[in-house]
Chain A
Amino acid sequence: MLNKKVLNRALVLSAQYASLLAFGLFTTFPLLWAAAFGLSTDGSVAYRFPQGFVPHVADENGVYSIGVTFSWIHRVFVEIPFTQYFINSVIITTMAVIGTVVISVLAAYPLARMKFFGRNFIFVAIIVTMMLPAEASIVPNYITIKNFGDFANWLQLVLTGSDEGTWRKFIGLNSYFSAVAPSVAGAFGIFLMKQAFEAVPQDLIDAARVDGATEMQILWRVMLPVTAPSIAALGIFTLVNTWNDFLWPSVVLRAKEMQPLAVGVFNDLTGPLSGSQNTLMAAIVLTVIPVLVFFAFTQRYFISGMDGAVK
């Protein structure tokens, strides 16, 4: 009787782990394959199954054996401006994270903790934007950014008398600003921070007020330290989303030297590099690794931080 129970349990367990593993292979196979492909001498084994999932190197006689070569990884840095893309990604992401956190915190605090004229109206207006398809705003926003550039040029002409058109580079098309501007103020961040601020006990704020703290000091000295986990979650979400953002940056950042990884590498892979599949796969692996490393350290924020945002 007991044996049967143990056997049953073992069967269920192995079935569970087998399906977990099978599904894990489904979600990771493209990256594993790209890694094996990029580390192989050439693509002659890559399309065979299942050998294609193990990197193969060829010796001088053309005999293939399991092994690793880093020559394609090296090629990536020669063939595409990978370092430049990487720096662009870092700059754009840093701007987006700082911008989003500052704007969301500032906006959420009065919505959560202050009484003022039009409070409910503003909150509803912000929440309603969650339902607008952001994708439909691409065209108007593109035109707005273009006008920003023209305005900067006009301003430069009026203020300095120069018609070089260099100010355009700061806020117009092909500027870092243009890549982050439409997303820094969003309902998600404001809502997340509002929830966090509302959860702070009123006693804490009252105590600070009694001690004579100004509103700015309360926000800075009391609220921020207490809501640090929410701020971290917002920062991490923004970081990954901005790092991976493809469509909007590809629309406004047409200049190659301004493009982030997700845009620049995609353009190079589908354009000039599409011939050399090994370099292509090596570039893909290099692009994905930073996100994976970051995710490995922060994954609990993704797996647990999200439910707070949904409720």
Chain B
Amino acid sequence: MKNSNFLAYFFLAPALIFMGIFVFWPVGFNTFLAFHNYEIAGGATEWNNFANFVRIWEEPLFHQAVKNSLLFLIVVPVIQLASLLIAKLVNNKLPGMTFFRAVYYIPVITAISIAGVVWTFVFKYDGLLNEFLSTILHFFHLYPQDKLVEIQWLQEPSIAMYSIMIFTFWKGIGYYMVLYLAGLQAIPTEVEEAAILDGANAWDRFWRITVPMVKPTILLCTMLSTIGALKVFQEVVVLTDGKAETYTALFYVYDQAFRNYDFGVSAAAGLVVTFFCMVLAAIQFRFFGDK
């Protein structure tokens, strides 16, 4: 190690300048904006006490947004269990596994806006999903042959959030699969072989060996996807644009700023979201701090 203050800061300067402007400054500026009325055109600001916070506290739309963001958490256990199972499946030493891993990763590398457009056509009332369900139900004679399934996947408020979750599930599973794969590959094969010799079946092996041994990865992925679920909103932008009662907390932040031009209210809501993410991060740190 060489001691050289000047050179070190010279190397660090670009990173510190950019992070200072675009990562640290926004936190401070958001806090400032949250307590002010802000005029984007002239940049005029006016202190308004806690009016922005009172406004979001009382606004039903923000309540809906918070409720939806919390509702979205139910996607977390589903996506974790599924991606762990998938990771387990592609972790076999069988031909074609690299191919399947790549195929499962494709949704992750597809732009969310482009994938969202296809999915809106899948979710349409006369779209692919309803057509698919009709075909299956007709085949098993579970639905009148002359009628088609016409579920409003993205228009019906009681369903729309769940449709967005399906999209999130589709988009995210490959990402967590890769993380679990890394965890699984750290398990010595002898452990599982010993269990097979002892006559443990696949179910027991999964719950008694795999799950306990990848517990650190499970904790990490659960935290990542919990924070991800609370922050969900690009999905809303591309699928429903907030219609059908699908506002989420960050969609509200975005909507207030760029449609209502109410930057103060937006910042106040953004500050609330940042606060909850920091709380979650602190919990995460307690879990992983000693690692």
Chain A residues in the interface with B (C-beta under 8 A): 13, 16-17, 19-20, 23-24, 26-28, 30-31, 33-34, 47-50, 52, 102-104, 106-107, 109-111, 113-117, 119, 122, 125-126, 129, 131-144, 146-147, 181-186, 190, 209, 215, 240, 243-247, 250-251, 261-263, 265-266, 269-270, 277, 280-281, 284, 287-288, 291-292, 295-296, 299, 302-303, 306-307, 310
User: Cβ of B15 and Cβ of A104 under 8 Å apart?
Assistant: yes
User: Cβ of B179 and Cβ of A310 under 8 Å apart?
Assistant: yes
Which of B100, B111, B131, B231 has the most A CB atoms < 10 Å from its CB? B111
User: Cβ of A33 and Cβ of B273 under 8 Å apart?
Assistant: no
Whole-angstrom distance between the alpha carbons of A160 and B8 in the complex? 37
Whole-angstrom distance between the alpha carbons of A307 and B214 in the complex? 13
- Across-interface contacts of B284 in A (CB, < 8 A): 131
User: Cβ of A143 and Cβ of B15 under 8 Å apart?
Assistant: no
B1-41 interface code vs A (CB 8 A; 1 in, 0 out): 11111011101101111110111111101100100000010
Indicate if B47 sits at the interface (CB-CB under 8 A): no
Indicate if B110 sits at the interface (CB-CB under 8 A): yes
Can you sample 5 A-B contacts with CB below 8 Å?
Answer: A26-B170, A116-B9, A126-B19, A140-B30, A185-B14
- Across-interface contacts of B277 in A (CB, < 8 A): 131-133
User: Cβ of B131 and Cβ of A116 under 8 Å apart?
Assistant: no
User: Cβ of A110 and Cβ of B106 under 8 Å apart?
Assistant: no
With known contacts A115-B3, A136-B273, A246-B238, A295–B220 Cβ distance under 8 A: no
- Interface SS of A by simple majority: helix
Whole-angstrom distance between the Cβ of B195 and the nearest chain A Cβ: 16
Whole-angstrom distance between the Cβ of A308 and the nearest chain B Cβ: 9
User: Cβ of A106 and Cβ of B9 under 8 Å apart?
Assistant: no
List CB contacts (< 8 Å) of B272-289 with chain A: 273-274, 277-278, 281, 284
B side interface size, CB within 8 A: 94
Chain B residues in the interface with A (C-beta under 8 A): 1-5, 7-9, 11-12, 14-19, 21-27, 29-30, 33, 40, 43, 86, 89-90, 92, 94, 96, 98, 100-107, 109-119, 121-122, 126-128, 131-132, 134-135, 170, 173-174, 178-179, 181-182, 185, 220, 227, 231, 233-234, 237-238, 250, 253-254, 257-258, 263, 266-267, 270-271, 273-274, 277-278, 281, 284
- Across-interface contacts of A251 in B (CB, < 8 A): 258
User: Cβ of A23 and Cβ of B104 under 8 Å apart?
Assistant: yes
